[in-house]
Each structure stands twice: as structure tokens, then as C-alpha cells.
Amino acid sequence: MSTHAATALPEPTAAERVRTVLARAISLSLTTAAREYDLIGMHSVSSRGLITLHPPADSPLALEAADAPHGGLAALLEFTDVAPAAVRDRVRARATVSGWLAPAEGDGGLRLDIARVTLRTATGTTDVGPDELVLAEPDPLAVEEAALLMHLVDAHEDLLGELVGLAGARLPHGVVRALPYAMDRHAVTLRCEYETGHCDLRLLFPSPALDAAQAGERIRQLLTRPRTCNHQHPTHTHP
């Protein structure tokens, strides 16, 4: 059971979240009418969010696409976003993109003509229009997020306790472990684990962070500014 925050704070849109998942994904699962594929390092995403697959010319996928009708090969791609740190329930989001694969001009790859995009998170499922996806941009910290979060784990364990302390009385007693769970330009999120269940504490930056250096500075600002600022109330999840 989950209880969501009553106070809405700045956060990425669903389209931005999908673009962010695509920007940092190195693998995907692909389903066609004939079979399923796990592709690692075989896709690229353009600045407009358009997806191109790059299978070897003699691979089963390339052969299946070559035999597809003129309209292209119907395909569903799933990208899984996993928290870098070893927290409970590490899957943060799943983005599914469906459409038709057709030969891409110039490079011999397969472009995906997008028909439908869906984002699934712990809070529910949201459809994202293909036009929304094209217009959205990935979070500026998307590619560097994993390194930023793991740097907190490996080199600044002491800061995690201080960040948890920012929640004050809003965070129930009994936290046995807190680890960085996510970071975007607006905030850093900690996953606070209890003996049973966990909660997520989203701490809003004083201003958006546009790169890794600014993200580090924003965290330092969180720990030095007055604690009267508003943060999202913890979101609790129990088994």
C-alpha cells in the first residue's frame, strides 16, 4: 500500500521520464510476433527521441525484419530503469515503446516508427503521445546520475545521514538503512528502509541542477541552508 505526497513538488513529466530512461539505457527487450530478443548495445536514440536498432546483418532480427511485409515488422520494445544502488525494489520504471521496424536510411539499421509509448512506475501507468516524446528532453543528469549516486554511497556515507535528518519528524522512526535512490535536476531521492517496507524521501534542490558539478553543489546547499524549506513528504511502501 502506498500513500502519496499531498504537496506537489517540481518533477519531470512522464515524457521527460521516458526520454531519460531511453537516454541511459544500454539494453532493451524486444518482442515481435515470432520471438523475443534481448539486445545489449544494439540501439541508439536520436536527439528527438527516435530509436534505431543496429543488429548484425545476418542476425535473426535482421532476417525477420527483411521478411516482414511492406508496412514493417510490428515490435514492442521495453526499457527497464534500475536504481544504481542496491536498494529494495530496484526497478524504478519501465518504458514500453511499440510500433513498426523498417530499414533506416543510410546506416543499414532498423528505425522504429513509434505508435505508442507507456511509462510504468510505482505510482501507476501513463501513456505518452509520440509527439510528446519528440518534444521532450531527457533530464540533464540522466547519463551521469548513476555515477553521482554511487559517489554518495562510496565516498559520502556520512552525508546520507545528514540528508535523512532533513525530513525531521516527517520521517517515522526505525530507519535501518538509507541509500540514494534517484536524482534529477530538481531533487535527490533517498530510499529509507525499515525492517518491513520502505519509504522514499525526495529532497528538493534550491534550484535546478544542469550538470554533475551543479548537482554536487545543490546537495551541499541542502545541508547548509535553513531547514524551513519544503520537501516532499515520504512515500511509504509496505509488503
Domain boundaries, the chain: 2-135, 145-237
| For range 163-175, the mean pLDDT | 84
Instruction: Check if the beta carbon of residue 5 is closer than 8 Å to that of residue 201.
Output: no
| For range 93-115, the mean pLDDT | 92
Pick the CATH number of 2-135 from 2.30.110.10, 3.30.1360.40, 2.60.40.10, 2.40.110.20: 2.30.110.10
Looking at residue 17, what is its pLDDT? Answer: 97
Predicted TM-score of the model (pTM)? 0.88
Q: Count of CB atoms within 10 A of residue 59's CB?
A: 15
Res. 236: pLDDT tops 80: no
Looking at residue 4, what is its pLDDT? Answer: 39
pLDDT in tens, 135-151: 999 999 999 999 999 99
> Does 236 or 32 have the greater pLDDT score?
32
Res. 42: pLDDT tops 50: yes
| For range 102-131, the mean pLDDT | 93
Looking at residue 15, what is its pLDDT? Answer: 97
Looking at residue 237, what is its pLDDT? Answer: 62
The band of 201, judged by pLDDT with boundaries at 50, 70 and 90, is very high
DSSP 118-152: EEEETTEEEEE-HHHHHH----TTTTTHHHHHHHH
Looking at residue 69, what is its pLDDT? Answer: 84
The class that CATH gives domain 145-237 is: alpha beta
The band of 3, judged by pLDDT with boundaries at 50, 70 and 90, is very low
> Does 107 or 118 have the greater pLDDT score?
118
Q: Count the alpha carbons within 13 Å of 41 in the hemisphere toward its beta carbon.
A: 0
| For range 176-190, the mean pLDDT | 95
Burial 147-167 (b: 16+ CB within 10 A, else e): ebbeebeeeeeeebeebbebb
Looking at residue 83, what is its pLDDT? Answer: 97
Beta bridge partners of 28: 39
> Does 176 or 233 have the greater pLDDT score?
176
What is the spatial distance between Cα 230 and Cα 8, in angstroms, rounded to a whole number?
Answer: 10
The band of 64, judged by pLDDT with boundaries at 50, 70 and 90, is very high
* Mean pLDDT of the residues in the chain: 89
The band of 229, judged by pLDDT with boundaries at 50, 70 and 90, is very low
Res. 202: pLDDT tops 50: yes
